[in-house]
Chain A
Amino acid sequence: MVPVDYYIALSAILFTIGALGVLSRRNPLIIFMSIELMLNAANLAFVAFASVYQTFSGQIFVFFVIAVAAAEVAVGLALIVEIFKSKKNINIDEMNSLKG
């Protein structure tokens, strides 16, 4: 059996890649994908610990995360479509009107 440390390391690597993707990329679609990566990194960690501790709660939590992620993507993509309609592009740095 693969020790849990490897799962956690992989989860950390995936999360870091996702976080860096969110911070560095300008394309919202890529950002979404990076967010998915981070969520799934978290899922991986949940599942890994669930198997270590032999409980279902971690696995059930993963279901919730997947459902929420799907809903979030649906809302986010709709927003992007609306933004594209008004701005004719979806560069994330152009969306800077939310400031004091």
Chain B
Amino acid sequence: MHLSETVNTGYYFLAPGLVLVPIVGLLINAIFGKYFSEKVVGTVASLASGTAFVISVLLAYSVSLNHGEVMRWQFLEWIHVGNLSLDWTFRIDSLSATMMLVVSGVGTLIHIYAIGYMHEDVRFKHEEGRFNRFFLYLNLFIAAMMILVSGDSYMMLFVGWEGVGLCSFLLIGFWYEMDTLARPSWANSNAAKKAFITNRVGDFGFLMAGFLMFWHLGSFQFDEVFKAVPAVAEAQPWIIVAITLFMLVGVAGKSAQIPLYIWLPDAMAGPTPVSALIHAATMVTAGVYLVTRSAPLYTLVPQAQYIVAMVGAGTALFAATIAVGQYDIKKVLAYSTISQLGFMVAAVGMGAYVAGMFHLITHAFFKALLFLSAGSVILGLERGHHAHAHHAAHDDHGKGKKKDGKKEEHGHGHDDHGEVFDPGDMRNMGGLRKTMPVTFWLYMIGTLALAGIFPFAGFWSKDEILLDASLHFKSVYGQLTIAAFFTAFYMGRQIWMVFFGEARSDAAKHAEESPKVMTVPLMVLAVLSVAGGALNLPFEGFHNLTHWLSHTLGEVEGLPLNLGVAGISTALALTAIFVSWLLYGRNPLKAGQPDPLKKPLGFIFTGMENKWFVDEGYGVLILTPFKKLSQFLADVIDWRFWHDFVHETVIAGTYNWLSETILSQYADQKGIDTFFNSWGTFTQWLSGQVRKIQNGFVRSYALSVLLGVVLILGYLILK
């Protein structure tokens, strides 16, 4: 059904396919997956995602064909109660089309990569159901994310919001029965729960914002809300402030901002493609999308904008410092993601929506590239570890089986080579540039893009944010610049530690390059990371993304390149890389050597290493009191008071007393029993007496008859 009258050309009718095609892929794999080989399962899932990408392209084309006109394609009726009417309507405009392209494009590449990755994942052990299940979840995620970005109302957006949260939970806990080193433990499922519960806090904020919105603005539908906003903002501005700030809580949950970012580093427990897809490129940017979508609300309340910008900037700086002190290759990237999300949130908070979206897109490219390359590194080390361990085992066989016998008994599991080997620990790496050259170059491109080196994609998008900040929010600009310095530093540190110097473990020495199915998607992402900046070059006549998004966000002025801001950030990035070379590149880390920053920085580095003890702080501030409270409620209130006292003593005791003492002993046994037993006894006594008459002597019967006759006659006569 066409809601807009002016628009009737294009491929809008394909919009439901965005959601339905991944669902169909999911169903095919769910029903027939067990008959398929791994390759077929992966291909079906990738094709489903790829089709969604094709549809996204066609929809984006349709939008441009109609000069950015908003198209609302009603698919199904949903809720009609009173004056609330919600429908499943697809909203296709330049903003949602951009998000669709990013989600399905990056998503498809990651699907393809995952075919190779999941096949090799050590924990996988060729369990067919698992492989299938992974792709089910991935397709479900694409569908949910499409609902999120294409929804035409806040409630439809919320449906997708919860859907991606569910998929995130399922995929973080994908190896639910082990920890990240495949030892039996509940660590991974706890990480999944942490993510889910932290997101509940954010969802609470989202829901409160939604309720307020419906109460005061009368609708959930975007256009109607935006139409109602100015009047309310005039009369009761605090309502809009409350809505936007509650929304910020939701954003902080989903997009991992202070204070709810803590789940994202733990989410690295999921398989690496998941970290790339959900926890770097797409789902975590949902918060940025939400703020951008709600631009008409935020624009009217500068106080809320200021808070959003400060939260973003604070997160960007804070997370960047933690990333410096991490050793796990994925953890560094996780904190980097939080930091970059901080950049985006700061940008949209400042009202620089285009800059935020631009950074969202380029970040999706280069962070997916980095994560997937990190996955390639980890698998490379795994291969080296296995090859080497196998080799060593053969040597031992030569020397004599006795010494080796004990180890053999453990079977051929992962941890049968003595100590558990952590393939994600950068201290176990080093020198991978020679053994994994393709991954090295891909990683280099991702790093340069993230560090913001000219002319990679990250340079343009980050620069646009910094430029906006320097014009409007000096404090945000300061924080973001320092964060950018740290970004370049920790990425430099990672490059030197992982790819340069000498191998610090046997596994790194024997590391092997990944197969084509993994590297080819990476190459595509690398090209995008290099050229992604072309989307919105800050030169006259080039602001493509700005023009494209202005159809949705209103006219935005494309800022020209500011050589001062760009120069400072580039100089800082280069300095940071140089400093990291001084520390990690010039004298490569030796095996077992502590981090060279540890000594000069002392407790500061300990803080960075331990994530500034935020988790511990939450533990003391929230978890411990919460557990104590729940324990108190369970033990004292529920068990001792409610169960033992109220139920057992008062209710059950009274009832027992009443039934046993009063009713049973007195009323029943003494009263009713006695009454009826007396009747029984009397009847027995009476019958005993009467029985004596019937003694069997015929003559006494005859006498009785005679006496009876005499009595009756006597009575008759004497009457």
- A interface residues (Cβ-Cβ under 8 A, vs B): 19, 22-24, 92-93, 95-100
- State the Cβ distance, A63 to closest chain B Cβ, in Å: 24
Separation in Å of the B162 CB from the closest CB of chain A?
A: 87
CB contact between B699 and one of A22, A97, A98 (< 8 Å): that residue: A22
Chain B residues near A96 (CB-CB < 8 A): 695-698
Give complex CA distance A68, B639 in Å.
92
Interface extent on B, as a size class? 10 to 19
Taken residue by residue from 685 to 719, chain B's Cβ proximity to chain A (1 for < 8 Å, 0 otherwise) reads as: 00000110011111100110010000000000000
* B694 and A23 contacting across the interface, CB-CB below 8 Å: no
Q: Nearest Cβ in chain B — how far from A50, in angstroms?
A: 22
* Min distance, Cβ B85 to any Cβ of chain A, angstroms: 91
Contact at A23–B706, with CB atoms within 8 Å? yes
Bound CA–CA A22/B704 (angstroms): 12
Of the candidates A19, A24, A95, A100, the one whose C-beta lies within 8 Å of that of B698 is A95
Contacts of B697 in A (CB 8 A): 93, 96
**Residue among A23, A93, A100 making CB contact with B691, cutoff 8 Å:** A100
Q: How far is the CA of A82 from the CA of B349 in the complex (A)?
A: 126
Given contacts A95-B698, A98-B698, could you give 9 more A-B pairs where the C-beta distance is less than 8 Å? A23-B703, A23-B706, A92-B699, A96-B695, A96-B696, A97-B696, A98-B694, A98-B696, A100-B691
On chain A, the residues within 8 Å of B702 by CB distance are: 22-23
The CA-CA distance from A98 to B694 in the complex, in Å, is 8
Q: How far is the CA of A100 from the CA of B688 in the complex (A)?
A: 10
**Closest chain A residue to B688 by CB distance?**
A100
A99 touches B699 (CB 8 A): no
- Once the chains bind, are A99 and B698 in contact (CB under 8 Å)? no
Cα-based distance from A96 to B706 in the complex (angstroms): 19
Closest to A96 in B: B696
Closest-CB distance, A13 to chain B (whole angstroms): 16
18 contacts between A and B (CB under 8 A): A19-B706, A22-B699, A22-B702, A23-B702, A23-B703, A23-B706, A24-B699, A93-B697, A95-B696, A96-B695, A96-B698, A98-B694, A98-B696, A98-B698, A99-B695, A99-B696, A100-B690, A100-B691
- Within the complex, the shortest CB–CB distance from A67 to chain B, in Å, comes to 23
Bound together, the chains give a CA A19 to CA B690 distance in angstroms of 25
- Chain B residues whose CB sits within 8 angstroms of the CB of A24 once the complex forms: 699
Looking at B690, B691, B696, the one whose CB has the most chain A CB atoms below 10 A away is B696
Residue among A22, A98, A100 having the largest count of chain B Cβ atoms under 10 Å? A100
The 7 closest A-B CB pairs, nearest first, are A96-B696, A99-B696, A100-B694, A100-B691, A99-B694, A98-B696, A22-B702
Contact call A23/B699, Cβ cutoff below 8 A: yes
Chain B residues with CB below 8 A from A93, complex form: 697, 699
B696 partner residues in chain A, CB cutoff 8 A: 95-99
Q: Taking the nearest CB of chain A, how far is it from the CB of B217, in angstroms?
A: 98
- Complex Cα gap A89–B551 (Å): 134
- Kindly report which residue of chain A lies nearest to residue B691, judged by CB atoms: A100
Which A residues are CB-close (under 8 A) to B703? Answer: 23
Bound-state Cα–Cα, A93 to B701, Å: 12
* Minimal Cβ-Cβ distance residue in A for B699: A23
Which residues of A lie under 8 Å from residue B690 when comparing CB positions? 100
> A29–B696 Cα gap in the complex (Å)?
19
Q: In the complex the two chains form, what is the Cα distance from A50 to B698 in whole Å?
A: 34
A37 to chain B, nearest CB (A): 14
Closest B residue, CB atoms, query A98:
B696
Residue of B nearest to A22 (CB): B702
Taking CB as reference atom, which chain B residue is nearest A20? B706
> Is A92's CB under 8 angstroms from B698's CB?
yes
A95 to chain B, nearest CB (A): 6
Bound CA span A100–B696, Å: 8
What is the bound-complex CA distance between A99 and B692, given in angstroms? 9
Point out the residues of chain A lying under 8 angstroms from B691, CB to CB: 99-100
Contacts of B699 in A (CB 8 A): 22-24, 92-93
- Chain A residue with minimal CB distance to B698? A92
Most buried by A among B691, B695, B699: B699
Closest to A24 in B: B699
Q: A96–B697 Cα gap in the complex (Å)?
A: 5
In the complex, chain B residues 649-708 whose Cβ is within 8 Å of any chain A Cβ: 690-691, 694-699, 702-703, 706
Instruction: List the A residue with the shortest CB-CB distance to B710.
Output: A19
Residues of B within 8 Å of A19, CB to CB, are 706
Residues from chain A with a CB closer than 8 A to the CB of B706 are 19, 23
Q: In the assembled complex, which residues on chain B have CB atoms less than 8 Å from the CB atom of A97?
A: 696
Chain B residues positioned under 8 Å from A98 (CB to CB): 694, 696, 698
Residues of B contacting A23 in the complex (Cβ-Cβ under 8 angstroms): 699, 702-703, 706
Smallest beta-carbon distance A71→chain B, Å: 20
A81 to B690, CA, bound (A): 32
How far, in angstroms, from A66 to B278 measured CA to CA in the complex?
124
A60 to B698, CA, bound (A): 32
Please give the distance in Å from A25's CB to the nearest CB on chain B.
Answer: 8
Residues of B within 8 A of A95 (CB): 696, 698
Bound Cα distance from A19 to B697, whole angstroms: 16
Q: How far is the CA of A95 from the CA of B694 in the complex (A)?
A: 13
CA distance A22 to B700 in the complex (A): 10
Nearest-CB residue, chain A, relative to B697? A96
| Cα–Cα distance between A93 and B702 once the two chains are bound (Å) | 12
Residue of A23, A24, A95 with most chain B CB atoms under a 10 A cut-off: A23
CA distance A97 to B691 in the complex (A): 13
Q: How many angstroms from the CA of A95 to the CA of B695 in the assembled complex?
A: 11
Q: How far is the CA of A82 from the CA of B694 in the complex (A)?
A: 24
Kindly list chain B residues whose C-beta atoms are within 8 Å of the C-beta of A22: 699, 702
Query: How far does the alpha carbon of A99 sit from the alpha carbon of B696 in the complex, in Å?
Result: 5
Least CB separation from A25: chain B residue? B699
Query: Given the complex of chains A and B, what is the CA–CA distance between A84 and B430 in angstroms?
Result: 129
